């Protein structure tokens, strides 16, 4: 996992400079920055990277990025989300955004359930607005957003249901389905941005 950790750090460094220089950034920008770091640190060729491949379980869903297994390397699967404040300055629908974040985790866990040897990662970049929302005790999501390094969080239906109706409505979690996430990389960037990378286990 050393090369992966190097890629995570390189990705974070690139984002730090990007935000410091106020470069216009979208979720695609975040993805492509990550692709560049992963390719560089893991010596991947372009044909080893598959973008937006069909999800094997969920109809009409796609996997953001997939690296097929090779030699002793397991298959690597990545989903991305970049949350940022609305340019108009109006409040974002934060409970809905948080629910969509967990919906991505569930989608990854269903992939992991079918392909148990794959390593599935969720790459989350956000600004202060969502970081503040996720960190507040009253929203009961701090255990996720500020999960300690190498810590693990269990997420099941009872965990999901212990949140707002708007949050719950975004997530399609069957009653018997459960997942665990671990914190693989965490950094608070300058300019009020945050990087969190989780592995779905």
Per-residue CA distances from 69 to 11, 20, 36, 92, 201 (Å)? 22, 36, 19, 39, 18
When pLDDT is averaged across residues 100-125 and rounded to a whole number, the result is 95
Element spanning 54, H or E: strand 50-54
Lowest mean pLDDT among 60-69, 98-107, 170-179: 170-179
Q: Has residue 181 got a pLDDT over 80?
A: yes
Nearest to 135 by CA among 188, 184, 82, 198: 188
Report how far residue 69's alpha carbon sits from residue 84's, in angstroms, rounded to the nearest whole number: 33
* DSSP class of 132: H
Per-residue CA distances from 78 to 31, 67, 124, 151, 162 (Å)? 10, 9, 10, 19, 27
Report how far residue 40's alpha carbon sits from residue 173's, in angstroms, rounded to the nearest whole number: 36
pLDDT in tens, 115-146: 999 999 999 999 999 999 999 999 999 999 99
What pLDDT does 174 receive? 76
Taking each helix axis from N to C end, the angle separating 128-135 and 94-114, rounded to the nearest 10 degrees, works out to: 80
């Amino acid at each position: 996992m050393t090369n992966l950790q190097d890629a995570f750090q390189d990705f974070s460094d690139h984002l730090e400079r990007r935000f410091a220089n106020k470069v216009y950034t979208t979720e695609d920008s975040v993805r492509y920055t990550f692709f560049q770091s992963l390719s560089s640190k893991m010596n991947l060729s372009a044909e080893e990277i598959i973008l937006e491949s069909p999800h094997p379980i969920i109809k009409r869903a796609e996997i953001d990025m997939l690296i097929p297994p090779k030699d002793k390397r397991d298959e690597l699967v990545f989903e991305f989300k970049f949350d940022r404040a609305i340019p108009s300055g109006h409040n974002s629908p934060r409970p809905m955004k948080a629910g969509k974040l967990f919906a991505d985790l569930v989608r990854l866990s269903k992939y992991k359930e079918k392909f148990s040897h794959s390593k599935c990662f969720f790459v989350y970049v956000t600004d202060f607005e969502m970081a503040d929302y996720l960190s507040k005790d009253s929203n009961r999501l701090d255990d996720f957003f500020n999960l300690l390094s190498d810590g693990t969080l269990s997420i099941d239906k009872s965990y999901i249901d212990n949140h707002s109706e708007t949050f719950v409505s975004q997530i399609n979690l069957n009653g018997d389905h459960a997942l665990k996430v671990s914190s693989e990389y965490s950094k608070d960037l300058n300019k009020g941005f945050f990087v969190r990378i989780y592995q779905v286990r």
